[in-house]
Amino acid sequence: MMKLIAAVALLGAFLAVSGDSSEAVRGIDPLKLHLYSPIEENGQKFWRCIGDPEIKLRYDQINDDYCDCPDGSDEPGTNACPYDPSRKFFCLNKGFFPGNLETFKVDDGVCDYDICCDGLDESNGLCPDKCNEIAAQFSQYSHEVEENSKRLLALKARLEDKASKKVDEIKKKLEILKHELAHRQKSVKGSKKTVVDAFSASIQDLAQGINEAKSAIGQHDITIKSLEGILNKMMENYNPNFNDLAVKEAINAFQDYISNKAEVVQVDLESKLEKVAHQAGTVGNSRDSYFSHYYNIVRDYFTPEEIINEEEDDQLAAIQQDIGIYEERLNRNYGPKDILRAVEGTWVSQSLNGYNYKVGLLTSIYQENTLIGKFERADGNTLHYRHGNKCWNGPQRSAVVELVCGPEHHVLSVQEPEKCAYVFEVMTPVVCHKFSQEDLLSGFEIDYSRL
Ligand code: MAN
């Protein structure tokens, strides 16, 4: 079995071109035949080298197995000129795809059916045309590959679905978190307003209490003054000759009371309250700033309030942190259609080269218990892992994982091309894609036993 290394042109375009042209030049694509148009002079045919038009040849010098042109253009259908990879022998391959063969393989006695299924690379009918048989094999192969590809793409579609559900979940979580954040922020503001309102009510209570106390004090003052007046009169008018012990004792106690009576400092409550009202006015006209001034003054006394606010702040910070984490996760590069999300956290284990490897897709990789690396980024079908355990006398371990299309998750190979830098090949449906005709042709191998 030989691998078909056909250079591909569209079959339709190829079929549109006639292979029976009387002007046919061996090894030349009919679409390029104009480059080999003869120049007629005195009934004779001539031709000029393509790259060196100053060199004029007889027309029958084309493909005469002798190299005349420095660029080899006079020998497109023989192996006479030195090998030049840019010059190829063209095979029409009627019924299949045209091919371009290296010129050194022309007339070498080998049928290069992988490129020239029509066998025209060899002269004298050495290689019969096998294009129909090869086209039939290719059609069977394409059918099998396409059937297999359908299965793989169905697996991939399921993973795409899983990835999109993960995105939806993250979006939903974000929505909930943002809603909760807004709600909590509002209720914190609300609770501060409630404290201000409560404080306002307390101030009003206090003012009322002060006024009531003030009038009670005024009443007591009157009572005391009238009692002092009664006792004063008794002290001045009593008759000491009446030797009444109870009166004597009361007079002595009253005299004692007067001598030790503390001087009452008159509190000017009116002017103090006026002062408070004036200060409040200078704080600002807004109701909030008026109360927040007093709120700030007494805040330190409301220790339990303070603790509750700190807890609330911590919870708000935690929600904001979660929002940041989910937003970062949402914006991370997970490849086309976010497909890599579907395999994030999938673990595949394999014993290779004497070690048991555990490969965590988009997480981390272990060689036995040695950390090979932590996932860093995805770049197309390549996953990069870094910051693994340090090597003895070497760098920190690292790895790249090449993802290749296949029906399941499986570690296919591991290599260590440089010390402690590993290259894994891991099979997964996430990188499968629809096969193009070029893919199909490059994967096709002729079964020579059936020719
Ligand atoms: C261990 C393994 C190897 C690595 C050497 C380096 O044996 O991790 O892959 O090459 O350490 O010392």
Exposure on the CB side of residue 24, measured as CA atoms within 13 A: 13
Are 197 and 189 a contacting pair, CB within 8 Å? no
Task: Kindly indicate the confidence band of residue 261, based on its pLDDT and cuts at 50, 70 and 90.
Answer: confident
The rounded distance, in Å, linking the Cα atoms of 269 and 271 is: 6
CB atoms within 10 A of CB 66: 11
Of 49-58, 280-289, 363-372, minimum mean pLDDT range: 280-289
**Binding site membership of 398 for ligand 1 (Cβ less than 6 Å):** no
Q: Which of 2-6, 132-136, 256-260, 401-405 has the lowest mean pLDDT?
A: 2-6
Residue 424 pLDDT > 90, yes or no?
Answer: yes
The answer to whether the beta carbons of residues 134 and 446 sit under 8 Å apart is yes
Say if residue 13's pLDDT is above 60.
no
**At residue 285, does pLDDT exceed 80?**
no
Quick one: CA dihedral 96, 441, 123, 33, positive or negative?
Answer: positive
For residue 416 and ligand 1, the question of a CB distance below 6 A is answered with yes
Cβ-Cβ contacts under 8 Å for 212 (sequence gap 6 or more): none
Cα-flanking dihedrals φ and ψ of residue 68, to 5°?
-100, -40
Identity (one letter) of the amino acid at 7?
Answer: A
Q: How far apart are CA 166 and CA 183, in angstroms?
A: 26
Instruction: Retrieve residue 451's tokens.
Output: 């020719």
Letter for the amino acid at 188? V
| Residue 272 pLDDT | 73
Adjacent-strand bridge partners of 414:
424
- State both tokens at 154: 């169905």
Q: Inform me whether the pLDDT recorded for 151 exceeds 50.
A: yes
Residue with tokens 């555990």: 358
For residues 413 and 242, the model is more confident at: 413
> Of the candidates 410, 362, 402, 367, which has an alpha carbon nearest to the alpha carbon of residue 388?
367
Which of 355, 356, 365, 367 is the pocket-test mutation for ligand 1 (most atoms within 8 Å of CB)? Answer: 367
* H or E segment and range at residue 296: helix 287-299
Nearest CA to ligand 1 atom 11: 391
Between the CA of residue 77 and those of 122, 242, 391, 427, 435, what are the distances in Å? 10, 165, 58, 44, 33
Mean pLDDT of 107-124: 96
- pLDDT above 90 for 354: yes
Angle between helices 131-237 and 245-260 in degrees, nearest 10: 130
pLDDT at residue 344, as a whole number: 96
Q: Is the pLDDT of residue 406 over 90?
A: yes
Q: Is the CB of 393 under 6 A from ligand 1?
A: no
Return the DSSP state at 396: B
Residue type at 133 in one-letter notation: E
Instruction: Say how far apart CA 83 and CA 187 lie, in whole Å.
Output: 83
pLDDT of residue 213: 85
Most confident of 186-200, 221-235, 286-300: 221-235
Average pLDDT, the chain: 86
Cβ of 277 below 6 Å from ligand 1: no
Take residue 186 and report the two structure tokens written for it: 């509002």
Pairing of strands 398-405, 421-428: parallel
Mean pLDDT over 284-288 rounds to 53
Q: What is the pLDDT of residue 298?
A: 58
CA 420 to ligand 1 centroid distance, Å? 6
Counting from 1 in the atom list of ligand 1, the atom nearest the Cα of 370 is: 8
Residues 6+ apart with CB under 8 A from 298: 199
Strand partners, 410: 427
Confidence tier at 192 by pLDDT (50, 70, 90) = low
CB-ligand 1 contact for 391 (6 Å cutoff)? yes
pLDDT-derived band at 247 (thresholds 50, 70, 90) equals confident
Q: Ligand 1: which residue has its CA nearest to atom 1?
A: 391
Average pLDDT estimate for 167-172: 96
Q: Is 429 helix (H, G, I), strand (E, B) or coil?
A: helix
- Check pLDDT > 60 for residue 363: yes
Neighbours of 147 (CB within 10 A): 9
Of 23-27, 43-47, 395-399, the least confident: 23-27
Mutation to probe ligand 1, out of 357, 391, 416, 418 (largest number of atoms < 8 A from CB): 391
Cα 292 to Cα 110, 196, 308, distances in angstroms? 99, 7, 18
For CA atoms 253, 259, 260, 262, the dihedral sign is positive
Q: Which atom of ligand 1 is nearest to the CA of 392?
A: 12
Beta strand 99-102 with 88-91 is: antiparallel
CA of 361 to the centre of ligand 1 (A): 22
